Structure 1
Amino acid sequence: MTDMYDDEREWWQERFEEHRPRLRAVAYRMLGSLSEADDAVQDAWLRVSRTDTSAVENLAAWLTTVVARVSLNMLRARDTRREEPLDVHVPDPVVTPESGTDPEHEALLADSVGLAMLVVLEQLSPAERLAFVLHDTFGMPFADIAAMIDRTPDAARQLASRARRRVRGAAPAPDPDLARQREVVDAFFAAARDGDFDALVGVLHPDVLLRAEGAGGRSTVLAGARDVAASAATYRELAPFVRPVLVNGTAGALVVAKGKAVSVMGFTVVEGKIVAIDALSDPERLASIDLGDLS
């Protein structure tokens, strides 16, 4: 590898910055962590800046491959460090005002990367996640994906297919109408505030899943409308502190008390019922949320 001349390096840096939003979106889907996604993109730039790129024909595809490889290595390292599999891990949520997202967040959340989907992606193997994200979201051919994981194109196709089935089964597409989503989520919190158990059950799908992660990665999973409703009744004291926000582009809630984010909740609403609630209440991970943008 040879160092680039200054002018060539500057040209490449400008091209890299043009592609940064897409590259960050790739890394976020692969890693489910905003900080790790930024690290992966920066690592990719360092690799690019030290590589002879004279033979590169398709810049977007080549950069996507570099970032995907970096993210794959980070996923594998994460799995190696983890002593025991987590029951559930809630990825970093992207919290934005209901009035809409800024261009950076729009790029990050394009193609429906809901929080529930990211939770399911966390349960895939690194190879399955790579095949699904790169093919189903970014349209990369299986031949290119196969080269990254030392598999045949058919094997890569099978990995993506298996991942697709799991995602569709556990993370159904939410209702496209944000206003309808908000109506259902508001009804949920109104029922919790009033302690109306029957009303809570009424807005929940019979097979609803509540997945929550607290401080230190402690997780809770509840299934079924009655169990989730019983748990939701404890939110009564938090109701005055709930702010309506978008969480990964869908109707969600941010709980703010004493100037600090206490919890972020993402809701998946399908046909007027809540089918999934994904909540994060780890103070360390919530500390990065800029509350000033969400007032």
Structure 2
Amino acid sequence: MDSATVERFEASRNRLASIAYRLLGSAADAEDTVQDAFLRWQAADPAFIEVPEAWLTKIVTNLALDRLRSAKARHERAVGTWMPEPLLDGDPLLGPADTAEQRESVTLAVLALMERLSPVERAVYVLHEAFAYRHAEIAEILDITVAASQQHLHRARGRITLARNTTRIDQAGARRIVEAFVDAASSGRTDQLIALLTDDATGISDGVGGTATKLILFPTPQRLARAMQAGLTPTPAKRRLAGGSPSIHAVVVNGCPAMAFTLDDRIVGIAILEVRGDKVAGLRSIAAPNRLLRLTEHWQRREHDAPLIESW
């Protein structure tokens, strides 16, 4: 393969990877999918590829759908321990974030809600909402009719009922929100923390150290508030599990404010706050080391604000 052909693929790599990440919810799976697409590109006859961007989008989308349909993926998602992989603000896998639809499509809440969709519904939703593909183009990519594409989008929108993430959260905004949340959770007053939550706020966690055998659910604001107060109260056992006394930083993860628990320049836990209006509508806590690898890689490449808590 000549250098021009390789460069043409590399020019599309980030866009292809961000499509795959939205479909799969995993950075490693997204990168593997793009690499598989590169091998297809390498083996293809350029004479039969009229529009390389469209050809590559079709290949990546369908490779990702094959992964979603595989028995292994279905099992991993069915056992109740799977959550989308979090990504730090600025990660190229997050892709475009100029519109409300683009920002919404990459939040962990929506990536999790997309688990309710069929693979084709998921692909139509991602391609249309996040990448502005027209129904005629989607029909060509997925080998369906235009009418079917429209129907799949209608069903997908109906199942993803989360309020849109219309506010772009920057580092300063994330710090304000996280600081208020940490202060309230550390105050010892449950009512002060509940006041920051919506009436339907919920939470989900994979346990301290990511050791829970099933995801732990907090179905009410009261349960979530108590869990966060307990979670932000350090104990010798928690410090042993973490390997020390982490610092707590405010960061932006998948477009949402988050608490990053760091130790020796590694992220050992992340708690993402889903904001609706001026309140917190949900929290997702992830501590499984294999889901924090890419987050740590990007954390180590950049400078950080001063921690909210120096030593937890």
Which of the five TM-score ranges fits, normalised by the shorter chain?
0.7 to 0.9
Pair 1:216–1:31, CA change in 2 (3 A)? farther
- Give 1:3's aligned residue: none
Alpha-carbon distance in 1 for matches of 2:5, 2:77: 42
- Give 2:231's aligned residue: 235
Paired AA for residue 85 in structure 1 = A
Report the Cα offset of residue 272 of structure 1.
0.5
Confirm whether residue 189 of structure 1 aligns to residue 185 of structure 2. Answer: no
- Give 1:107's aligned residue: 95
Alpha-carbon distance in 2 for matches of 1:39, 1:62: 18
The match for 1:172 among 164, 173, 183 is 164
Pair 1:216–1:42, CA change in 2 (3 A)? farther
Confirm whether residue 262 of structure 1 aligns to residue 272 of structure 2. Answer: no
* Deviations, residues 133-165 of structure 1 (Å, cap 9, x unaligned): 112211223334335555432122111111122
Confirm whether residue 283 of structure 1 aligns to residue 275 of structure 2. Answer: no
Pair 1:27–1:136, CA change in 2 (3 A)? same
* Deviations, residues 109-150 of structure 1 (Å, cap 9, x unaligned): 662122222121233221111111112211223334335555
- Count of aligned residue pairs for this structure pair: 282
- Give 1:31's aligned residue: 24
* Structural mapping, 1:201-212, within 5 Å: 201-212=194-205
TM-score normalized with structure 1 length: 0.85
Is the 8 Å Cα contact of residues 271 and 285 (structure 2) preserved in structure 1?
A: yes
Give the secondary structure class of the aligned counterpart of 1:54.
helix
- Give 1:51's aligned residue: 44
- Give 1:220's aligned residue: 216
Alpha-carbon distance in 2 for matches of 1:64, 1:138: 11
Paired AA for residue 301 in structure 2 = D
Pair 1:115–1:151, CA change in 2 (3 A)? same
Give the secondary structure class of the aligned counterpart of 2:153.
helix
Alpha-carbon distance in 1 for matches of 2:163, 2:213: 21
TM-score normalized with structure 2 length: 0.80
- Give 2:151's aligned residue: 158
Report the Cα offset of residue 285 of structure 1.
2.3
Paired AA for residue 173 in structure 1 = N
Give the secondary structure class of the aligned counterpart of 1:170.
coil
Mark the runs of 5 or more structure 1 residues left unpaired by the alignment. 1-5
Paired AA for residue 268 in structure 1 = E
Confirm whether residue 63 of structure 1 aligns to residue 71 of structure 2. Answer: no
Alpha-carbon distance in 1 for matches of 2:71, 2:88: 25
How large is the Cα RMSD of the aligned pairs? 2.6
Give the secondary structure class of the aligned counterpart of 2:64.
helix
Give the secondary structure class of the aligned counterpart of 1:139.
coil
Matched-pair identity in %? 31
Alpha-carbon distance in 2 for matches of 1:195, 1:184: 18
Paired AA for residue 225 in structure 1 = P
Report the Cα offset of residue 217 of structure 1.
6.2
Alpha-carbon distance in 2 for matches of 1:217, 1:12: 46
Report the Cα offset of residue 48 of structure 1.
1.0
Pair 1:175–1:44, CA change in 2 (3 A)? same
Is the 8 Å Cα contact of residues 212 and 221 (structure 1) preserved in structure 2?
A: yes
